[in-house]
Amino acid sequence: MTYEEYRKLLFEYASGEKSFNLTDFSFREKSIPISKEDRDDGLSEHTQYEWYDKSTKVAEVYIMVWPDNWISCHDLEISKKYRGYHLGNQLVEFIVKKGVNHLSVSPNNKIAIRLYEKYGFKLTGEKEGNLLRMERK
């Protein structure tokens, strides 16, 4: 792709004429080693999922599987360069398909809270440090 083609494509995305799709990017799944303390607490799986555009990270999320069907995610993040292209919806759809039913979010991140609510997550009123807990049943 030439530089001009790349600029045209970016303009189409920025103007709303196009949206990125997570399937446009390379995907990486990596198992994270579980500490003895977490294993003793019942953590059975900890996985990192990443999407890349060449060598640039586009998005990532970590999913943890605990006893009693408690599946949580943390560090759901989209790189600044790729925000505003509807990838957040796709990332939340991805975690829902993976069975995530618990997460924590900053009380200041109103956009994320609304996005999670759109997919059935509800604020529980509980806190995890300075973060708010959300649950999906």
Backbone angles phi, psi at 111, to 5 degrees: -65, -45
- pTM of this structure: 0.83
User: With the C-alpha atoms ordered 53, 55, 61, 66, is the resulting torsion angle positive or negative?
Assistant: positive
Express each pLDDT in 8-44 by its tens digit.
Answer: 666 665 555 557 888 889 999 999 999 999 999 999 9
| Spatial CA neighbour of 107 closest among 132, 73, 78, 74 | 132
Architecture of the CATH domain 19-135 = 3-Layer(aba) Sandwich (3.40)
Beta-strand relationship, 45-53 and 56-66: antiparallel
